Chain A
């Protein structure tokens, strides 16, 4: 069995029909569990109760970057192999990524006000995140502006390629630009100072929940796009007959 079998819309619909209920249930449990558990964690000795914002801010920011990477991969699959499902998956993922970026930006601003004394700072990570959000908006706008779906997929694929610079920049900006206000990575696989387990485990659950929520939503939205494409094809077929 090859992964390319799923590029067949009928096969994709059949498979996701079976997988989707499990994804929805597990995403609901993990997102609600992670957020509620996070909300119930004790106050941090320096940040007080604002530490609870981390359980939304960090998973949303993580997903904002990773969704763009997923869109890059699926766009490349479209550009190289011309599989329609991959182009539709990239299109379906963009609004989810835009919402995740917006949540990260808003919760970051709300968190930043009492901690940094400002809602916004032209810090490398914040700025690259804002640019990433604008790329998401531009990507969605470009899909709606072009009538021919194949041309739209080609052009948005190029936008995706360019936007990847900012997606990666927003991830690694704090490593090579030290002048920013934003702290480094909250979690690291390297040894050293680690976050307390009291915060770490609910954060892991919330991150898993956001990832599962994304998977569930991207499957639902890709199925929507496939149905819309099918209807358009049937209508075009009848118009020709």
Chain B
């Protein structure tokens, strides 16, 4: 295990926040794209 010394909380907080924000952005981008593709396909199939 890596020893971060007295700044353990500081470093982990920075990495934690960044990973959560990046994961949220990636999830939102993929989910919105899937939804848009499904809606367009559904509309084409219904037409």
Contact of B7 among A48, A224, A227 (CB under 8 A): A48
Name the CB-closest residue of B to A59.
Answer: B18
Q: Which bracket fits the contact residues of B?
A: 20 to 34
Cβ contact within 8 Å between A103 and B18? yes
Assuming the contacts A49-B7, A99-B21, A231-B40, asked whether A217 and B26 have C-beta atoms less than 8 A apart, the reply is yes
| Assembled-state Cα–Cα distance A213/B19 (Å) | 13
> How far in angstroms is the closest Cβ of chain A from B14?
4
| Assembled-state Cα–Cα distance A31/B18 (Å) | 12
Assuming the contacts A103-B21, A220-B29, A224-B33, asked whether A235 and B43 have C-beta atoms less than 8 A apart, the reply is yes
Among residues 1 to 47 in chain B, which have CB atoms less than 8 Å away from a CB atom of chain A?
A: 2, 4-8, 10-11, 13-15, 17-18, 21-22, 24-26, 28-30, 32-33, 36-37, 39-40, 43-44, 47
Flag whether A228 is at the interface (Cβ < 8 A): yes
- Listed in ascending order, the chain B residues whose CB lies under 8 Å from chain A are 2, 4-8, 10-11, 13-15, 17-18, 21-22, 24-26, 28-30, 32-33, 36-37, 39-40, 43-44, 47
